[in-house]
Amino acid sequence: MVAHFSYDIPKTQVIEVIKSTLEENGFKIKEYAPEDAFLFTDFKLYEWGTGRRLLAVVVKVNDKITLTGMGKMDVPVSDIGKPEELMKIKSVDKLPYGIQKKTFFEVIKLFNDLGYETLNHWP
């Protein structure tokens, strides 16, 4: 999951604002490099409905803001075996659209609320 945004202030200020906003919204920053205008977060738990959804984001600011989301979700992998092996966390490359809407699109909305305009195509 990738989204791009435009900005019009110095990129050092952009990364500071994004860092603060993500922290205020429950993300824990794992790596932060303001000199490179880069950060990534630990996985944030979204627990609703059946099963857990985990989302981590990477933000890189160059000529545009690039937001990349990485997701994991609980999926049953077997119905035979020991109880602790019935449900495991499996990494997925692409979360179903309904889950993206409730997790990644929430982060996109945060960025839009900060005044960064979503780019709908690769420039």
- Quick: pLDDT tens for 53-95: 888 999 999 999 999 998 887 766 666 666 666 666 655 666 7
Ordered domains of the chain (ranges, CATH): 2-113 (3.30.530.50)
Write down the pTM of the prediction: 0.81
Partner residues linked to 72 by β-bridges: 54, 91
What's the pLDDT band for 100 if we cut at 50, 70, 90?
confident
Helix axes 104-113, 11-24, angle to 10 degrees: 130
